[in-house]
Amino acid sequence: MAEIRNPNQQGGGGGGQDSKTILMFTALFIVILFGMQYFREKKAPQPTPAQHQQSETAKNAQQPTAPAPSTKAESPTSQKAVATQPKPVPQASDVVAKTQSTTVVENELYRITLSNRGAQVTSWVLKKYADDHGKPLDLVNQKAAAKYGYPLSLYTYDEGMRGKLSSALYVPSATGDLNAPASLSFEYSEGGLTVHKTFSFDSTYVIRAKVTVTQNGAPVKALLSWPAGFGDQVALPDYATSNSAIHTSQSGKDDETSYKKISSGNTLHGPFDWAGVSDLYFAAIFLPDKPEDASLVTLHNTIDIPKNLQHPDPAQVDHASVLGAAIGTSNSGPLSVRMFVGPKDLDVLRSIHAVSGPSLEHVVNFGWFSVIAKPLFLAMRFLYEHVVANWGWSILLLTLVINLAMLPTRFQMMKSSVKMQRIQPKMDAIKAKYAKYKATDPRKRDQQKEMFDLQKSEGVNMFGGCLPMLISYPLLYAFYEVLENVIELRHAHWLWLSDLSAPDPLYLLPVFVIVSMFLMQYMTPSPGMDPKQQKIMAFAMPAVFGFMMLHYGAGLSLYWAGSNFISVGQQYVINRTKMGRELRELAIKRAARKKAKGSVVQARR
C-alpha cells in the first residue's frame, strides 16, 4: 500500500500523461510530509529585549486594566525574597500561616503535593506514566513554574496582587498525607485582602476547585491557572511541537490554537464548555460550572533550555515557548470549576463531560483525516487488546490487514495498465499523425479527442491506475496522525526499540524503508516510462523518504517499511499471473520498438 508509484505508466499518449499524474501525486505527498517536519517553526518568534520592554511600557501606560503577561512568580520553596520585604503589622483579623508546610493528596492515579505558600501545586505526579528516565512523571514543569507560576496559583490583572497571592503563606485545613476522596482548604487574609481556596479530590483525574478573593470586602477577579507547560517537555521539540496548543469548546464547537498563534495575557470570553492547555500527550483542561459566565486568559512565555541536555552550556541555549491558561468568571464573583489534569487517552477523555454535555475527546487532534485516523487507531488498539499485547506487532498486523484489503486495487491497477499497453501502438500512430503541428495549433485538440475516443472505445481509463495512490496516501497520512498523537505509543517497546513514538536510534527502520521502496520500484513493471523519471523513482525517491523517516516516530517507519515489504510480496505473485506475464511481454515489445525507432533516427542523422 505504501508504494509511491503505480505500474500504469506509459511512454506516449495517455501513458505520458499518466506518468506526469503519478509524479504530481508523489511530489504533492513529499511537500506535505516535508512541510510537517521542516516548515513548522522550531521556535516561536521572540521580540528583542528592547522591543519587549517598549511594548510592555506602552501597554501599561495605555491599558492599565488590561491583562499583563505572566511575570516571574516566587518558588514556593524560596523565602529569601519574602524575608527582605517589610512585613505589615498583623491585625487581629489577619489569617496568615507562620511557617511553610506541604500537603500530599494521593489516589491510584496521581500524587499531588501542595504548598501553603501560594496555596498551589509544587508536584503533580502521574503514577501510571514515566519520564524519559523511567521515574514517575511529574506534570509540573519545574523550571517554567519557578519562573512563571505553579499550577492552581491565581492569576490577576494586577501584577502586584498576583505576586502577593503566589507568595503568601495560607493556612491549610490539613497537612501531611491525605488519601482521596478528600477536600483541602486554604485561607489567607491580610491588609484587607482575603482569599479562600478549596480543592476536592476523588478517584479520577478530575479535581474540583472553588476560589473567592475579596479586597476590603469587594470581590476581586482572580483566575485559577495552569501557568507554564508540562513536565514531559524537556528538549526543544517537546516545546515546539504543533501539539502545544490552547483548546476550547464553545457551544459544542471545538477549537485548537497552536502555540505560534497564542499571545500572553489575552482574554477570551465564553461561553466555554471547557478550555485549557495541552502538549503532545498531556492536558490541563478547565470545566467551569457556569460555561456562559466563563472567561479564559492565554499565557505564552519563554524559557531557556540547553541545546545539549547531557552537557549543558549556558552559552548554547534554545528559547522554548511554554503555554499556560487561566480560567475565571466574566464578573468578579466566586469561581467554581472542575479541572482535568492527565493523559490524552481517548477512553479517559470520553468519560469526562462538561456541564453542558460535550466530552473532552477532541482534545486529541487527528487532523484533517480524523475520519480515517480514528478508526485506524481503534482497529490497532483492538489488535493490541485481543491478538498480541505489543504495539509494534499490532502496527504490523494492521498493516497486513490493510494491504490485503487493498489487493483488489492492485489487480485493477495492473488490468488498467495491460489495456493501455494493448492500445499503445494506436496511440503512437495518432501522435505521429499530429506530430507536425505545434502545441499551440488548434488541430492539436483533434489529437486529444482522437486519443480520448480510442481509450473510451477500448474501455481504458487513463486514471484507473491512480486509485491505489488516492487511497494509500490518505491512509499513510492518517497513520502518521495516529502514530504521532496517541499516548499509547509513548515509551512502547518493540524488539530493539524502547519508544515507538521516538525516531529509531539505530536508524535501522529508515534503512528498511529505503530498501523496501527500492525493491518495490524494481518489482513493479513500468512499461514505456521515461528513463529519467524511472531513475528518479527507483533511486532518488527511496532516499528522500528514508531520510525523512529519520525525524519521525519509529512507529511510522515500522508501518511504512512493513507495508512496502508486503507489497513486494504481493507484486511478486502478481507478476507471475497471466496478466502479469502479458504486461511484461507487452513492455518488452514496446521497448524493442522504441529501440528500433531510435536506431533508424540515428542512422538518418
| Backbone φ, ψ for residue 158 (5° rounding) | -95, 110
Considering only 47-61, 166-180, 412-426, which range has the smallest mean pLDDT?
47-61
SS3 224: strand
Task: Give the tens place of pLDDT for each residue, 248-267.
Answer: 998 878 888 888 888 888 99
Query: Is residue 15 predicted with pLDDT exceeding 70?
Result: no
Give the tens place of pLDDT for each residue, 76-125: 444 334 334 445 555 557 899 999 999 999 999 999 999 999 999 999 99
- 406 and 352 together in one domain: no
In a shared domain, residues 479 and 593: yes
With a cut of 90, say whether residue 177 has pLDDT above it: yes
DSSP 242: T
Same domain, 301 and 419: no
Q: Domain boundary residue among 346, 365, 384?
A: 365
Q: Which of the four pLDDT bands, split at 50, 70 and 90, describes residue 460?
A: confident
User: How many angstroms separate the CA atoms of 41 and 49, rounded?
Assistant: 21
Q: State residue 30's pLDDT score.
A: 58
What CA–CA distance (Å, rounded) separates 592 from 125? 71
pLDDT of residue 3: 44
Grid coordinates given for 91: 491585625
Cα 284 to Cα 342, 391, 408, 522, 562: the distances in Å are 7, 26, 46, 50, 36
pLDDT digits (tens, 9 = 90+) for 193-203: 999 999 999 99
Q: Which residues contact 48 (CB under 8 A, 6 or more apart)?
A: none
67 within domain boundaries: no
Instruction: Report angle CA 297, 302, 307 to the nearest 5 degrees.
Output: 150
pLDDT at residue 59 above 70? Answer: no
pLDDT of the residue at 541:
76
- The domain of 575 spans 14-39+373-423+460-599
**Mean pLDDT of the 406-426 span:** 77
- Domain shared by 390 and 309, yes or no: no
Three-class DSSP category at 325? strand
Q: Residue 531: what pLDDT?
A: 57
Residue 194 CB coordination number (10 Å): 19
Domains: count for the chain: 2
- pLDDT (tens digit per residue) in 286-313: 999 999 999 999 999 988 888 887 788 8
- Say whether both 27 and 117 belong to one domain: no
87-96, 397-406, 587-596 — which one is most confidently predicted on average?
397-406
Q: Does residue 73 belong to any structural domain of this protein?
A: no
H/E element holding 157? Answer: none
Q: Are residues 245 and 297 in the same domain?
A: yes
Task: Write the secondary structure of 73-90 as one string of H (helix), E (strand) and C (coil).
Answer: CCCCCCCHHHHHCCCCCC
Whether residue 462 has pLDDT greater than 90: no
Q: What is the CATH number of the domain that holds 283?
A: 2.70.98.90
Long-range (24+ apart) CB contacts under 8 A made by 206-211 are: 206/287, 206/338, 206/339, 206/340, 206/352, 207/338, 207/339, 207/341, 208/336, 208/337, 208/338, 208/339, 209/152, 209/335, 209/336, 209/337, 209/338, 209/339, 210/334, 210/335, 210/336, 211/154, 211/334, 211/335
pLDDT at 350 over 70: yes
Asked whether 302 and 319 are in contact (CB, 8 A), the reply is yes
Q: Mean pLDDT for the chain?
A: 80
pLDDT value at residue 90: 53
Residue 80 lies in a domain: no
Whether 87 is in a domain gets the answer no
Between 186 and 444, the more confident residue is 186
**pLDDT(575) > 90:** no
Q: What pTM did the predictor assign?
A: 0.76
Centre a 10 Å sphere on the Cβ of residue 174 and count the other Cβ atoms it contains. 13
Cell of 552: 519521525
Residue 346 and residue 390 in one domain: no
H or E element that contains 47? none
Residues 257, 406 within the same domain: no
In a domain, 48, yes or no: no
* Residues facing 288 on adjacent strands: 337
